[in-house]
Amino acid sequence: MRNLMRACAVLAVLLLAGCASGPTTVYDYTKLKDENPLSILVLPPLNESLDVNASYSFLSQVTYPLAESGYYVFPVAMVNDLFKHNGITEPGEIHAVPAKKLREIFAADAVVYLKITEYGTSYKVLASDTRVTAEARLVSLKTGEELWAGAASASTAEQQSNSNSLLAMLVVAVIDQVANTLNNKGHEIAGITSARLLHAGGANRLLHGPRAQKQEP
């Protein structure tokens, strides 16, 4: 029995070591480096959340991280107005416009397709959490090929501290839910998510653009 227990313990250690030392997946940036886009068009995000304001709340905050990363970004308000003037108002319809047509209209190098999967405040008995999760795809408008894809999330739970009092936790959860709703906390968290998603630098994140002072090797 002791030998069996020792064997199991050794096997567990080996398995854990194998998991810890396993290779980390590295994004293949070959196409992005070859294309090296300078100008980027950002389309209104598809919204899979229950908040009807999520799409344009998130869209209003995507220009900064991309510009800071060294790309020229077409003003999102101007782009949105142009689509409206042509009778295209829904993000789904805009995403369906062929890449070749977008290239003809805007002469951009690439386009960012966004999708919001979570946006808003949820109440979970002992905690109130405002969370925004989004995905992005950078696609070449010259070839139609995907150059990069990523996802990011941010939450108020990251800044919340635990309490030993059950009553205190319940009260704080209710207060947070009301405050987050009244103060549109989702918009603030969306800004953090957009920065994590579209700011260059870090493992598997977007590379710096041609205008950036810092360039990847």
Q: What is the pLDDT of residues 139-160, one digit of tens each?
A: 999 999 999 999 999 998 876 5
> Is pLDDT of 6 > 50?
no
Which residue, chain included where needed, has tokens 């908040």?
Answer: 51
Q: What residue spans define the domains of the chain?
A: 26-121+130-154+192-198
> Is pLDDT of 52 > 80?
yes
Which residue, chain included where needed, has tokens 């408008």?
Answer: 141
* Tokens standing for residue 43: 């389309």
pLDDT-derived band of residue 98, with 50, 70 and 90 as boundaries? very high
Percent of the chain at pLDDT > 90 equals: 62
Interval 176-181 mean pLDDT: 47
Task: Give me the amino acid identity at 139.
Answer: V
CB 138 within 8 A of CB 197: no
pTM of the predicted protein model: 0.78
CA-nearest of 210, 185, 171, 168 to 57 is: 185
* Tokens standing for residue 113: 């397709």
Interval 173-202 mean pLDDT: 75
Query: Which residues have CB under 8 Å from 187's CB, separation 6+?
Result: 57, 61
CATH says 26-121+130-154+192-198 is which class? alpha beta
* Tokens standing for residue 79: 């782009």
Give the Cα separation of 113 and 136 in Å (integer). Answer: 6
Interval 106-115 mean pLDDT: 97
Interval 110-119 mean pLDDT: 97
